């Protein structure tokens, strides 16, 4: 009796059940794949947003340091070795700005940007405050290098400057 049943093929109900099951499995796989892709995209967007914020915060902090260095350096040279209340206040503002720069740089993932920022800061401190000769051109060149590194990182798709770190 099994011979005639096999020759007739699966029943229409069985074909419908198999088709529905296959459709459900495919739909489930598409839904899982879509969710995974969305999760990866959202994670990438969060990481880029965090890196972008760190870069712009570092750039703003460097600008604040530059302004405070100019202020402190001018007062320091004018005081000619004497300590004045204005000079002390300017020094505190500069040290606060420098500390903020250090904190913001700790959040930057890009070694090239951090190195450029520290190189600029060192040159700027000598140029604005010290009696040692570091030309304004050197400070300006390092300032431009810092901003170029940040700009490059901001324009990259992952928030990190391309090229060697």
Is residue 126's pLDDT more than 70? yes
The number of angstroms, rounded, from the C-alpha of 70 to the middle of its chain's C-alpha atoms is 27
d(CA 142, CA 125): 12
- Residue 145 scores a pLDDT above 90: yes
In the predicted structure, residue 165 carries a pLDDT above the cut 50 = no
Q: Where are the domains of the chain?
A: 52-155
- pLDDT tens digits for range 45-58: 888 889 999 999 99
pLDDT band at 118 (very low <50, low <70, confident <90, very high): very high
Report the sign of the C-alpha dihedral through residues 77, 78, 84, 85, in that order: negative
Q: How far apart are CA 142 and CA 147, in angstroms?
A: 9
With contact defined as beta carbons under 8 Å apart, do 142 and 124 qualify?
Answer: yes
Query: Which residues are within 8 A (CB) of 19 and not within 5 positions of it... i.e. 6 or more apart?
Result: none
pLDDT digits (tens, 9 = 90+) for 62-86: 999 999 999 999 898 887 778 889 9
Half-sphere exposure of 58 (CA within 13 A, CB side): 34
Read off the pLDDT of residues 81-116 as tens digits, 9 standing for 90 and up: 788 899 999 999 999 999 999 999 999 999 999 999
Confidence of residue 8 (pLDDT cuts 50, 70, 90): low
145 is written with which tokens?
Answer: 């290098």
Please state the rounded mean pLDDT for residues 137-159.
88
């Amino acid at each position: 009796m099994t011979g005639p049943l096999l020759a007739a093929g699966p029943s229409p109900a069985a074909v419908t059940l198999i088709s529905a099951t296959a459709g459900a499995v495919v739909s489930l796989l598409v839904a899982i794949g879509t969710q995974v892709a969305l999760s990866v995209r959202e994670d990438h967007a969060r990481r880029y947003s965090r890196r972008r914020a760190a870069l712009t915060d570092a750039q703003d902090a460097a600008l604040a340091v530059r302004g405070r260095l100019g202020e402190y350096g001018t007062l320091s040279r004018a005081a000619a070795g004497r300590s004045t209340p204005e000079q002390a206040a300017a020094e505190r503002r500069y040290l606060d700005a420098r500390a903020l720069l250090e904190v913001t740089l700790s959040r930057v993932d890009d070694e090239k940007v951090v190195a450029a920022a520290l190189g600029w800061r060192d040159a700027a401190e000598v140029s604005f405050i010290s009696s040692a000769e570091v030309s304004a051109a050197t400070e300006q060149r390092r300032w431009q290098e810092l901003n170029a590194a940040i700009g490059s990182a901001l324009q990259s798709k992952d928030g990190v400057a391309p090229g060697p770190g």
